[in-house]
Amino acid sequence: METGTRLTVRAYHISSLEYGEENRVTLDGHMTVCPSVAEKIREKEPLIKDISIRIIRPDEHDQHTNTVMDVIPLSTKVLGKVGEGITHTLTGVYVILTGVDEAGRQVCNFGASDGILRDKIAWGRPGTPLESDLLISFDVVLREGTWADRPGPEAIHRACDVFCQIFREQMKKFNGYKCTEKHVFQETYEPGRKDVVIVKEVSGQGAVYDTRLFGNEPCGYEGGRSVIDMGWMPVVVTPNEFRDGIMHAMD
């Protein structure tokens, strides 16, 4: 039997999320969010007019949301590169990235999901949180008219990635023995089985219609390449690279 890469994912469950004076995640499942960090992130992004960071608890879904651009798990590499080694990830909490421009245009290709949050997410899908999950809303207002070219939406994803990285750096230092769940993915190729591949066609036609691969961190933006810049050519990744977050949705 042939074997491929081995990936260990240690999950840490977050049970409480509160506002605090710093952005902090601790091993005991406690997380604090400091919304004022938004201003520091915004200063480096000229296309962004405003960023607001908020906590949304499961009983607070009856509130307005701008269109959801992405749902991002907080994951980081502890050993090795994306697709092998050890990853630390948080469960029970997800970052919800939303965006609008100054003129009120929702940052999406078409069919915006702005409205009352409760009604605008199909909860519990592979790509969405459970209704009982804690959410960190990262809501961005772009300068007028900048949503339609790639630099606008890219600035939004980059800014959100800077915010996520604050927590990732802390998660790297978590004690591996104290995780709430541990999953080991050993790729094996057994004789006598059919060899199959998955072909995923992903967005690649411009602003809010793009996909990134190969970020430095799992599910990350920084260090990644757009499929547009790679000339839309097919790229092969291993199952472990894929499940370790080699993709970042940009559509």
State in angstroms the smallest separation of the CB of 39 from another protein.
25
Residue in 8, 66, 75, 170 binding another protein, rule: CB under 8 A:
75
**Taking a C-beta distance cutoff of 8 angstroms, is the pair 145, 103 a contact?**
yes
User: Any residues with CB less than 8 A from the CB of 66 and at least 6 apart, and which?
Assistant: 98, 99, 100, 106, 107, 114, 139
Q: Which of 70, 101, 139, 217 binds another protein (CB under 8 A)?
A: 70
Binding mask 95-124 for another protein (x = CB under 8 A): -------------xxxxxx-x---xxxx--
Chain residues 202-221 in contact with another protein, contact rule CB under 8 A: 202-206, 209, 211, 213, 218-219
243 near another protein (CB under 8 A): yes
Shortest separation between residue 114's beta carbon and another protein, angstroms: 8
Task: Say which residues have a Cβ less than 8 Å from residue 39's Cβ, sequence separation at least 6.
Answer: 51
* Buried-state track 164-176, b at ≥16 Cβ within 10 A, e below 16: bbbbbebbeebee
The interface region with another protein, picked from 10-18, 137-145, 168-176, 184-192 by CB under 8 A, is 184-192
Q: Least separation, in Å, of the C-beta of 185 and another protein?
A: 8
Nearer to another protein by Cβ, of 19 and 119: the residue is 119
Q: Which is nearer to another protein, 34 or 243 (CB)?
A: 243
Does position 195 interact with another protein (CB under 8 A)? The reply is yes
Which residue, 34 or 109, is less far from another protein as judged by CB?
A: 109
Are residues 227 and 202 in contact, defined by beta-carbon separation less than 8 angstroms?
yes
Specify the residue, 80 or 239, whose C-beta has the smaller distance to another protein: 239
Q: Which long-range contacts link 146-152 to residues 24+ away (Cβ below 8 Å)?
A: 146/47, 146/101, 147/99, 147/101, 147/105, 147/107, 147/207, 147/208, 148/207, 149/206, 149/207, 150/206, 150/207, 150/210, 150/226, 150/228, 151/47, 152/47, 152/101, 152/107, 152/207
Identify whether the C-beta of residue 205 lies closer than 8 Å to the C-beta of residue 113. Answer: no
Our CB check for another protein shows the closer of 1 and 21 to be 1
CB atoms within 10 A of CB 77: 22
**Interactions with another protein, residue window 151-180 (CB under 8 A):** none
Q: Which is nearer to another protein, 59 or 122 (CB)?
A: 122
Alpha carbon distance, N-terminus to C-terminus of the chain? 39
Residues that bind another protein in the complex, under the rule CB under 8 A:
67-68, 70-73, 75, 94, 108-113, 115, 119-122, 125-129, 185, 188-190, 193-206, 209, 211, 213, 218-219, 227-228, 230-239, 241-243, 245-249, 251
